[in-house]
Amino acid sequence: MRVALVVPPWGPDDIRAKDTRGISGCWPTPGLQYIAAVLRDRGHEIIFLEGFFYTNEKMRKMIADFKAEAVGVYVISLLWEQASTFLNDIKIDNPDVFTFIGGHGATAMPDRLMAECDSLDTIVVGEGEITAGELIDAVAAGEDYSKIPGLIFKDSSGKVVRTAARPMIQDLDDLPFPAVELCEMERYWPSFEQVSTVPAMQMIGSRGCNGSCIYCYKMYGRHIRLRDPVKIVDEIEGYIKNYGVREIKFWDEHFTHDHEHVYKFCEELLKRKINIRWWVSCRADSVDKRLLRSMKAAGCWCINFGVESGVQKNLDVLLKFESIDRIRVAIKLAHSVGIKTHTTYIFGIPGETFEEGLETIDFAKELSSFTVEFFPITPFPGTPLYKGVMQGKFGKMSSALDDQGMLLDRPCFVPFSMTADNIMELRRLAYIKYFFRPSFLVYRITNLMSPFQLKAMYYGAWSLVQMLGQQIEKLVKPKG
Ligand code: B12
Ligand code: SF4
């Protein structure tokens, strides 16, 4: 069957605040690349269309030229409007085309999406490889798919039907590597603050996280499934050979959960003498010096720690189960072995005050990571935070899905303890106070790792100038 897999048309304006649009890039979507690989291996003909490169009109034309018989669309909640418009247009062009969607947004609020889009035939819920494979095989053969687990669709009477739950894939090594070769790889580039050099590739080495943070949408549950380190390194070798890749960004939710697994991965890289930089995310309570030394020796240049707040009470509200002291220790340890850190922080935690937000900024300065990000907290559908907000707890939230981005100009959620202006001011102050420190600027300049990072600094500086302008405007503008 001819299947078009599509990231709907989108641009930096849809997902970023004005002041950080300059640093925006686009990574390919790993989930859709996995779906593409599975469908290809089942004998279907695939075209992969990235909405960052094409307009809606252009993609419709490409789908018509390809004579697609099925169109599968990646959906996150923020970009649902673009996705549903696209699905409607595709059905206008060819009413017989079979449409299906998957992804975090599709999984978190399937009933709403089904109700809002008549052009949508089926939703693949959760982990999609096996379900999408069975679904497209059935559609191609003209067979009934109503018994395939993991689906939501409307029956002939218009009633929404949900099939049995699809169990998680037991062994991730059964999956093929993501079909990167179907994407226009040469057209992608990462957002500037996200890598130390290019070409860079992203990878998923595990799925799941044992944490329970209330703002995190945990599609893969608390049990962490690991890929074989040998296969992960095989995949890396392929990227080096085929694309000259110099850096890997692992999007695993919690890379260092199983130390033995990390040691095996590092040993494999060293054994094959693979010289590559890599970047991972992990929890602060899961690292020690021996592990960090091994990671550094095998090429890890940066670790992302989701710090979120410098106030213990707020970490407790988020159910982070991390202590401020442990975070401090983890970051010091990483720096002591020569690994840089990227730390992220959120403002607008339920119950957080403006003054506590200022304490978080001080904590970020104390930790002094190489790169930082400050976000307004965003309750994504499917998270305990979102459920609480819907029950009237915690604060007020916009119901428009396109407001649900953590990088936009306004927060979509405001806790009872703050105002929207407080949150945006804390974000601006955080960047200004963090970067306008002579010692920090010296650290950044003396630690440049490639011309790409020089470019990143240029765009970062431009963002800061805009934030400074906004802050000055706020201070001089008469109140009321
Ligand atoms: C990698 C990543 C990115 C990358 C790559 C984005 C991309 N397009 O894939 C970057 C950094 C660019 C990014 C950006 C953003 N991201 Co992001 N990102 C992730 C992350 C960390 C991993 C996703 C991943 O690859 N997982 C591994 C793959 C294998 O799993 P998967 O994506 O779930 O795919 C499986 C299923 O969902 C399903 N599936 C997926 N797509 C499809 C399509 C079809 C047709 C079918 C049938 C099935 C299917 O099958 C796949 C295989 O099993 C997740 C958090 C997480 N840990 O999951 C957030 C996450 C997906 N991102 C999120 C958000 C909000 C964003 C941004 C909007 C950020 C912002 N500005 O506010 C932007 C949007 C950019 C964009 N256009 O996509 C949210 C989405 C929330 C929601 N409810 O929709 C998440 C869940 C993080 C969170 N905050 O909780 N992100
Ligand atoms: S530690 Fe990270 S991935 Fe794990 S639950 Fe918390 S936010 Fe989600």
Instruction: Supply 377's token pair.
Output: 């907290």
Residue pLDDT, tens place only, 25-38: 889 999 999 999 99
Q: Which atom of ligand 2 is nearest to the CA of 216?
A: 8
Q: Please state the three-class secondary structure of 205-230 as a single string.
A: CEECCCCCCCCCCCCCCCCCEECCHH
Amino acid letter at 115? A
The pLDDT value given to residue 480: 57
Mean pLDDT of 379-397: 95
Indicate whether 201 pLDDT > 60. Answer: yes
List ligand 2's pocket residues with C-beta within 6 A. Answer: 209, 211-213, 216, 218, 253-254, 283, 306
Write the CB contacts of 462 (distance below 8 Å, at least 6 apart in sequence): 22
- CA-nearest residue for atom 4, ligand 2, is 211
The phi and psi torsions of 413 (rounded to 5 degrees) equal -130, 135
Closest to 102 in 3D by CA, of 75, 142, 134, 135: 75
Residue pLDDT, tens place only, 273-315: 999 999 999 999 999 999 999 999 999 999 999 999 999 999 9
Q: How far is CA 97 from CA 3, 139, 155, 324, in A?
A: 10, 11, 17, 53
The rounded Å distance from CA 211 to ligand 2 centre is: 5
- Given pLDDT bands bounded at 50, 70 and 90, which one contains residue 262? very high
Write the CB contacts of 245 (distance below 8 Å, at least 6 apart in sequence): 199, 200, 201, 236, 239, 276
Instruction: Supply 250's token pair.
Output: 């692992």
Out of 104, 204, 207, 218, give the residue to mutate to test ligand 2, the one with the largest number of ligand atoms within 8 Å of its CB. 218
- Given pLDDT bands bounded at 50, 70 and 90, which one contains residue 479? low
- CA-nearest residue for atom 5, ligand 2, is 211
Lowest mean pLDDT among 239-243, 326-330, 452-456, 470-474: 452-456
The pLDDT value given to residue 245: 96
The rounded Å distance from CA 76 to ligand 1 centre is: 7
- Residue-averaged pLDDT of the chain: 95
Nearest-angstrom CA–CA distance, 351 and 267: 45
Name the pTM for this structure: 0.95
Mean pLDDT of 328-333: 98
**By the 8 A CB rule, do 14 and 401 touch?**
no
- Given pLDDT bands bounded at 50, 70 and 90, which one contains residue 407? confident
Structural domains of the chain, with CATH: 2-162 (3.40.50.280), 193-476 (3.80.30.20)
Amino acid letter at 274? I
Residue pLDDT, tens place only, 180-197: 999 999 999 887 778 999
Mean pLDDT of 267-276: 98
Nearest-angstrom CA–CA distance, 430 and 304: 18
Closest to 179 in 3D by CA, of 25, 42, 1, 79: 42
- Given pLDDT bands bounded at 50, 70 and 90, which one contains residue 401? confident
Q: Which atom of ligand 1 is nearest to the CA of 406?
A: 72
The pLDDT value given to residue 449: 86
Instruction: Supply 447's token pair.
Output: 């630690």
The pLDDT value given to residue 421: 95
**Whether the bond into 199 is cis, omega within 30 of 0:** yes
State percent of the chain over pLDDT 70.
Answer: 99
List ligand 1's pocket residues with C-beta within 6 A. Answer: 10, 15-16, 27, 29-32, 34-35, 72-74, 76-79, 100-105, 108, 124, 127-129, 132, 204, 216-217, 219, 251, 253, 380-381, 405-407
Helix (H, G, I), strand (E, B) or coil at 336: helix
Indicate whether 223 pLDDT > 90. Answer: yes
The pLDDT value given to residue 400: 87
Nearest-angstrom CA–CA distance, 188 and 190: 7
Mean pLDDT of 416-439: 95
Mean pLDDT of 52-59: 96
